[in-house]
Amino acid sequence: MWDDPARAQTILREKNRLDSKITAVKSIEQGLEDALGLIELGEAEGDSDIVSEAETALNALTARARKAQIEALLSGEADGNDAYLEVNAGAGGTEAQDWAEMLLRMYTRWADQHGYRVSLLDRSEGDEAGIKSATIRVEGDKAYGWLKSESGVHRLVRISPFDSNARRHTSFSSVAVSPVVDETINIDILDKDLKVDTYRASGAGGQHVNKTDSAVRITHIPSGIVVACQTERSQHQNRAHAMDMLRARLYEAELRRREDEKAIAEGQKSEIGWGHQIRSYVLQPYQMVKDLRTDTERTDAQSVLDGDIDIFLETSLARRVGNKREG
Within-domain flag for 32: yes
Within-domain flag for 78: no
pLDDT (tens digit, 9 = 90+) per residue, 286-319? 999 999 999 999 999 999 999 999 999 988 888 7
Q: Are residues 137 and 172 in the same domain?
A: yes
The pLDDT of residue 14 is above 90: no
Q: Are residues 159 and 31 in the same domain?
A: no
Within-domain flag for 144: yes
Residue 34: what pLDDT?
92
Q: Are residues 94 and 60 in the same domain?
A: no
- The H or E element that residue 292 is part of is none
Q: Distance between CA 215 and CA 132 in Å, rounded?
A: 16
Q: Are residues 48 and 99 in the same domain?
A: no
- Residue 229 pairs in a beta bridge with 216
- The H or E element that residue 284 is part of is none
Residue 186: what pLDDT?
76
Residue 265: what pLDDT?
62
Q: Are residues 186 and 293 in the same domain?
A: yes
Q: Are residues 50 and 166 in the same domain?
A: no
106 SS3 class: helix
CATH of residue 288:
3.30.70.1660
Q: In terms of pLDDT, which residue wins out, 23 or 184?
A: 23
Q: Are residues 128 and 224 in the same domain?
A: yes
Domain boundary among 31, 52, 72: 72
Residue 250: partners with Cβ closer than 8 Å, 6 or more residues away: 187, 189, 220, 223, 225
Residue 243: what pLDDT?
92
pLDDT (tens digit, 9 = 90+) per residue, 213-256? 789 999 999 999 999 999 888 899 999 999 999 999 998 888 88
Q: Which domain holds residue 38?
A: 5-72
Residue 270: what pLDDT?
41
Q: Are residues 110 and 62 in the same domain?
A: no
Within-domain flag for 264: yes
pTM of the model: 0.74
Within-domain flag for 77: no
Within-domain flag for 28: yes
Domain boundary among 17, 42, 72: 72
pLDDT (tens digit, 9 = 90+) per residue, 69-88? 877 777 677 888 899 999 99
pLDDT (tens digit, 9 = 90+) per residue, 146-188? 999 999 999 999 988 887 787 888 999 999 999 998 766 778 8
Q: In percent, how much of the chain has pLDDT > 70?
A: 88
Domain boundary among 32, 47, 72: 72
Q: Are residues 267 and 245 in the same domain?
A: yes
Name the average pLDDT for the chain.
85
Q: Are residues 55 and 124 in the same domain?
A: no
The pLDDT of residue 322 is above 60: no
Number of domains in the chain: 2
Q: Are residues 21 and 98 in the same domain?
A: no
Q: What is the DSSP string of 175-230?
A: EEEEEPP-TTS-----GGGEEEEEEPPP-SSGGG---S--EEEEEETTTTEEEEE-
The pLDDT of residue 271 is above 50: no
Q: Are residues 165 and 294 in the same domain?
A: yes
